[in-house]
Each structure stands twice: as C-alpha cells, then as structure tokens.
C-alpha cells in the first residue's frame, strides 16, 4: 500500500510503501501526487519511504512506476529513497545517471536528513 506522507513542505511530495504495492496504489497515490506537484512547482522533489521489501511491488506496480518516471522525465529535481535494503541505494545511484535530477539513498534512521536534503538547492 502507498500512503501520502503529510507534514512535508508543499514543494516536496512523499509516499510511504508498506505491505503489497499494486498498480492501483501507483495510479491513485503516486501518479496523482506527482502530477499535482509537477503542475504546481514545475519540478518534482520526491521522498519514498520503503517500509516493505521491493519484492512486494506487483508487476503492474512496476509498470505504473516506470510510467511515472517517463511522464515526468524532465521535471525530476531530487529523489530521496529511505530504505533498509542495500539494493535500493544501488538503484538510486543508477537513477541519478539515467535522469536529469539527483537521487540519493538513505537508511531508515536518516529520514530527517533525507527531508533536509530534498529541501536544499544544490
């Protein structure tokens, strides 16, 4: 399940992933929030807090997630991924090379650092 994270600065969109993540979660929560943020701020600063194993994303969710990346390709400014999984850090490094924005992985105890990084203009 994806749930929007509240209490973030307006220009940062964030979601928390728990349990199984489906294509409906991606469409209803992620795509809607990314579209709203991109339209309002002309860029996307995105926080993903993974509290589930990436294996819990259904095939449909991965397809929708790829769609989100492509639809917003030029608007990515920063992506912070908070996860205990080491492979997620590797993925964020690859994402930085493949997109115009910056991405960075953080450990679960670095959530506040992730928020601060998203909020900076570097």
pTM for the whole structure: 0.84
Q: Write out residues in the chain with pLDDT < 50, as ranges.
A: 94, 97
Q: What pLDDT, in 10s, does the model give residues 29-62?
A: 988 998 899 999 999 999 999 898 777 776 666 5
What's the confidence (pLDDT) of residue 15? 95
Triad 76, 104, 82: Cα angle to 5°: 105
Q: Tokens 């860029």 appear where?
A: 43
What's the confidence (pLDDT) of residue 95? 54
For 69-84, letters b (16+ CB in 10 Å) and e give eeebeebbbbbbbbbe
Q: Tokens 């996307």 appear where?
A: 44
What's the confidence (pLDDT) of residue 6? 96
């Amino acid at each position: 399940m994806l749930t929007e994270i509240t209490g973030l600065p307006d220009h940062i969109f964030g979601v928390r992933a728990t349990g199984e993540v489906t294509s409906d979660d991606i469409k209803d929560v992620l795509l809607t929030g990314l579209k709203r943020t991109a339209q309002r701020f002309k860029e996307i600063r995105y926080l993903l807090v993974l509290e589930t194993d990436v294996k819990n994303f259904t095939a449909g969710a991965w397809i929708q997630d790829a769609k989100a990346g492509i639809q917003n390709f030029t608007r990515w400014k920063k992506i912070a991924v908070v996860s205990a999984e080491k492979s997620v850090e590797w993925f964020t490094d690859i994402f930085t090379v493949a997109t115009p924005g910056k991405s960075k992985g953080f450990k679960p105890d670095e959530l506040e650092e992730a928020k601060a990084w998203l909020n900076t203009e570097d």
